[in-house]
Copies of this chain bind each other. A is one copy, B any other.
């Protein structure tokens, strides 16, 4: 991998470099939520009949959160929205669009943002829509929000990602059952004054990996009329080929994303990756050359929170002072599809 550290130079020396496709965007607040039940890996050792320490070592996770089976996904999302509103004293009435950026919905009809809106304190009639690109939905939603704030007539947009993977875990499949945690996160965004914004955004999907990571039920494919089994509601992952495909594609993908931003990896102060797995975060460090200082890694205390991972990691960057003006940040992830999404932005 050849992201060599370049000579230190002022970022955006040439104004022209930014003007061509720079999209003003300001993240004005973030918030997060998790369910009450903290599940330590030591508990899973017992549940799975393993020696103490096995699950933590295999998963790289000390604890993750699992909601009980009746808890509301939308309610968890609204807790994150309310957290983001409260942290910067933002009036609910000032939000003019609510975007749901979840991977799996509350139910198949109506769309997810309506369920979020129903439980929120946002005004009746607020515009709302769902954006979905599996685990990287938040990055896609952030890019759409930037376009909508600049040219779509909206002033302040709330993006909420909430997922409850615990509800679809297959406890017979050790590899996938120990790595997921429930959670939600929110970002509230405006156009801002033009100093902050999107330097590059890149979305690519390689469907040769479509069945390596999936939940088959819930739509027209597996239902009572077409035929289904309880197993169709469980998360299925074929970890090795999935990791092999993702890691064969991510290096040139990252080069394209950086090239479009006009920056080198060494210019990126903070990398906010999807918290897909222990292995994927190690890959970011060892193969892609992201330094431990730059990498936001909350995996040990959250696990893979599906669509909520990236905005939860973004919130972590914000509250730990690693999301600062003029210090470029990269959001990046791979997702069921197999989808890649990434964004380089100036906070």
Residue ranges of A at the interface with B (Cβ–Cβ < 8 Å): 21, 23, 69-70, 72-73, 97, 103-115, 117-118, 124-134, 137, 140, 143-144, 147-148, 150-153, 164, 167-168, 201-208, 210, 213-227, 230, 233, 235, 335-337, 339
Contacts and interface: CB of A to CB of B under 8 A. Distances in A.
Given A110-B214, A125-B204, A339-B114, A220 B167 contact: yes
Counted per complex, copies of this chain come to 2
Contacts of A164: 220
B205 A126 contact: yes
A142 to B, nearest CB: 12
A118 B210 contact: yes
Given A104-B108, A111-B336, A167-B225, 18 more contacts: A103-B108, A107-B216, A107-B218, A107-B222, A110-B336, A111-B132, A114-B210, A114-B337, A114-B339, A118-B210, A128-B339, A144-B147, A147-B147, A147-B150, A168-B223, A217-B223, A218-B218, A223-B233
B143 A147 contact: no
Contact of A215 (B23, B109, B335): B109
- Centre residue among A103, A108, A164, A203 by max chain B CB count within 10 A: A108
23 contacts: A69-B226, A72-B221, A103-B111, A104-B108, A105-B218, A106-B220, A107-B221, A108-B217, A109-B235, A109-B336, A110-B210, A111-B137, A113-B205, A114-B205, A115-B210, A117-B205, A129-B132, A129-B140, A144-B152, A164-B220, A167-B223, A218-B219, A218-B223
